[in-house]
Structure 1
Amino acid sequence: MLKFVIPAVALAAAASTPVSALEVTKTATIAAAPDTVWKTIGAFCGIGDWHPVVEKCALSKKGDKEQRTLTLKGGGTLLEEEQARDDKAMSYTYTILEGPLPVSDYKSTIMVAKDGSGSKVTWSGNFKAKGAPDNKAQEAIGGVYEAGLKGLSEKAK
């Protein structure tokens, strides 16, 4: 009986996983203490201080959730909502509600951890491609993460 249960559980788990879900994870090692890097990341709207494509960040509230409207250099805006934040664990999770990126159902986490005498920042996201092939959506998000991590590395000292 057990040999039939395991395949059924595996099949049920596979069926519950969205087929079109994509993932991108980028990391950076920064020669600064985790507390310093986390302070540089800052509050939910702190991204405007370290991400090179963000011209301005405006914070607002909807219910008990913080939202940020990011005005991008070169045009375009993103509306994002913070879903969870843990300052002690140095991470926050957010979703994109509206924006020009070729993604939907986007959820992302940025986190800081100790790495030797410095820090490791991990930025990961799950999403579906929208209006673009999967690889182009992954490239777009990967580019956003890489630019942000580079900007963060330059600011966190």
Structure 2
Amino acid sequence: MNRLGAVAIAAGLVMAASPAFALDVASSVKTDAKPAAVWQTIGSFCDISKWHPAVEKCVESDANGAKRRTLTLAGGGGTLVEEQVSRDDAKMTYTYKIVEGPLPVENYQSTISVTPAGDGSDISWTGTFDAKGASDDDAKKVIRGIYESGLQSIAAKASGK
């Protein structure tokens, strides 16, 4: 076998052994509410229960100095444990990861943020993850649905609708 053939086979083996690239989902919504009002609506890490329709209850806890929230999902959907990775109130953004839960994802990390947009705001929610127990498309569909329903609720509550 020539040298080029050996390199091609080695490259193929490395690619076959490499993990798949993470999936990305991004959703956003514009609202006429001012950024400060939107950020106040989003609130603290556990205030998600006040604005996300899929969350019935949130209990905050501490895990080795990291802020965690345990979400009870609506309709008997189980519980989800998430950990805050970072938060910057001045920049109106926070990032968190899923520690455990029933969603068809693993290695999940997500950021929600608010930025000025004309006379109102743009609210964005982005995440990266790997599918777990579902196809890539199905996992992305679940996460996109979570983001879109949450963003619509934040926008409505922040603008008083």
TM-score range, shorter chain: 0.7 to 0.9
> Stretches of 4+ moved more than 6 A in 1?
none
TM superposition shift of 1:19: 2.5
Residue of 112, 134, 141 corresponding to 1:110 = 112
1:125 is matched with 127
**CA-to-aligned-CA distance 1:80-106 (integer Å, 9 cap, x gap):** 000000000000000000111100000
In 1, Cα distance between equivalents of 2:81 and 2:118:
36
1:8 is matched with none
**TM-score normalized by structure 1?**
0.88
Aligned residues: 143
Percentage of pairs with the same residue: 51
Name which one, 1 or 2, has greater alpha-carbon Rg.
2
| Structure 1: segments with no counterpart, 5+ residues | 1-14
In 1, Cα distance between equivalents of 2:37 and 2:24:
28
In 2, Cα distance between equivalents of 1:123 and 1:142:
9
In 2, Cα distance between equivalents of 1:154 and 1:33:
12
1:151 and 2:136 matched: no
| Structure 2: segments with no counterpart, 5+ residues | 1-14
1:98 and 2:128 matched: no
2:36 is matched with 35
1:79 and 2:86 matched: no
In 2, Cα distance between equivalents of 1:39 and 1:127:
28
**TM-score normalized by structure 2?**
0.86
**One-letter amino acid matched to 1:154:** A
